Amino acid sequence: MVWKSFPNLKSSKAFKWIQAILWRRAPFLIKHLKNKGSETEVENLKEIEQLKTEVALCKAVVAGNLLTDTPKGQAEAPKPRRKCTEMKRYGTAIGTWSEFQIEFKDQFYPYHVENEAQSKLRRLRQEGSLREHVQQFFELSLQVPSLTEEDRFFTFMDGLKSWAKNELERMGVKELSKALTTAESLIELGVKKSKPPKSQAEDRMMKELHSQGTRVEDIVAILKRAPIHTRIIEAIKLAHALGCDLKIVSDANTFLIETILKHRGMEECFSEIHTNPSFVDEEGRLRIFPHHDFTKSSRGRVHSSCPPNMCKGTVIEKIQASLSMEDQKKTIIYFGDGLGDFCPSLKLGDGEYVMPRNGFPVWDLICKNRSLIKAQIWEWSNGEDFANVLLHLISIPINITSA
């Protein structure tokens, strides 16, 4: 800091305003932040103590008449919009570092800059990656200190793509800070080639859990608590009772699927399960392997949205070839919600049906590429929608395939 650039610092309104706030609130802030103890707040604590030291040094310099004359043309310090005495008498108490930042910006930040930033914030929509969107939102929100945390949260959520917003809502995110950090960790629409296959990552995770003492029985107990809408269970059982041939094509694994089906009383409803193989080894560890060996063939995926360990489109083609050998013609209904469900949707022809879940990755891809889809599109959003659409479509003999 160059002291001789501010000869009238002691008489400056801005200086008095900052001095009053720091000396009145620094002890409370320090106590408050020490109690919280997070790394971020510890850094804020250091900043407050440093500012307090600088104010003391500034007072000593002013008292000692060490400041030189003001150079000609030197701009004055910005004047606060409220006097220090007014703040003492009428102002809201400042109890945290965030409140201090907001109050400081409210006093010195140009109004037109905040209005412009707020307008941009309201119009901000995710166009690129989630990481880029989070960064843009964060930079703009800093320029709008008057916006409440609740308003910031809803503004951020409204600007997300529908699949990302639905994913955060599904995870129960209710706070802005958690929404920002969680959004950056979500998988983007599109496959990152450097990312290991899901089956490989899950196998490593099972190894780690096993080393920490987690038993297969513990995993089974968790899977039994997996929520499934009752109307979905009812619709699947009814479709099976009406003679529909149900098959599963999934990027999960046999252990997970068979455990859930058995617990829900649906193990007899499906004639085939196409997924990543898994088994419990002699040590009691759950092992998970890819549907096909992706290390030997880079051409295993038909579409870029397919995970490297399993192309559902290829599986659907095999099912279609098998159905073509039967005397009775069957119609395929395919339903799903993930990225990997887009490729099989491309394989369906006229007279067949695809049921994408509205607001999820497959829905976004289908909406952007409707001209590529030959099958009829019937969207659904929840368990009730799913049951209504499915039961409406099974008025003719069909073969239903689920993701």
Condensed to tens digits (0 to 9), the pLDDT of residues 282-294 reads 999 999 999 877 6
Give the list of residues 6+ apart from residue 355 with CB closer than 8 angstroms, or none: 333, 334, 335, 336, 378, 379, 380, 386, 389, 390
Same domain, 99 and 116: no
Neighbours of 103 (CB within 10 A): 20
User: Contact 198/309 with Cβ under 8 angstroms?
Assistant: yes
Q: How far is residue 260's CA from residue 220's CA, in Å, rounded to a whole number? A: 9
Flag whether 133 is in a domain. Answer: yes
Range scoring the smallest mean pLDDT among 122-131, 311-320, 330-339: 122-131
Token pair in block for residue 269: 């409803």
Q: How far is residue 145's CA from residue 94's CA, in Å, rounded to a whole number? A: 14
Where b means 16+ CB within 10 Å and e means fewer, 71-95 reads eeeeeebeebeeebeebeeeeeebe
Give the list of residues 6+ apart from residue 340 with CB closer than 8 angstroms, or none: 251, 305, 306, 307, 310, 311, 312, 403
- The H or E element that residue 118 is part of is helix 111-123
Range scoring the smallest mean pLDDT among 18-32, 234-248, 380-394: 18-32
**Which residue, of 62, 90, 108, is where some domain finishes?**
108
Q: Which of 152, 56, 58, 59 is nearest to 98 (CA)?
A: 152
Same domain, 264 and 329: yes
The CATH number for 226's domain is 3.40.50.1000
Q: Give the chain's mean pLDDT.
A: 76
Q: How many domains does the chain have?
A: 3
Flag whether 314 is in a domain. Answer: yes
Flag whether 193 is in a domain. Answer: no
pLDDT of 92 reads: 54
Listed ranges 9-18, 88-97, 143-152; the one with the highest mean pLDDT: 143-152
Mean pLDDT throughout 231-236? 95
Flag whether 192 is in a domain. Answer: no
Flag whether 31 is in a domain. Answer: yes
Backbone angles phi, psi at 280, to 5 degrees: -100, 120
**Which residue, of 55, 90, 108, is where some domain finishes?**
108
Flag whether 313 is in a domain. Answer: yes
pTM exceeding the 0.75 threshold for the entire prediction:
no
Range scoring the smallest mean pLDDT among 182-196, 214-228, 239-253: 182-196
Token pair in block for residue 219: 């995993």
Same domain, 204 and 347: yes
Range of the structural domain that residue 47 is part of: 3-108
In 3-state terms the chain splits into helix, strand, coil percentages (rounded to 5) of 55, 10, 35
pLDDT confidence bin for 324, thresholds 50/70/90: confident
pLDDT confidence bin for 195, thresholds 50/70/90: low
DSSP-assigned beta bridge partners for residue 154: none
pLDDT of 132 reads: 83
**Which residue, of 108, 124, 139, is where some domain finishes?**
108
Condensed to tens digits (0 to 9), the pLDDT of residues 68-80 reads 444 444 444 445 4
Condensed to tens digits (0 to 9), the pLDDT of residues 100-111 reads 666 655 655 555
Residue 7 predicted with pLDDT over 80: no
Neighbours of 250 (CB within 10 A): 22
pLDDT confidence bin for 90, thresholds 50/70/90: very low
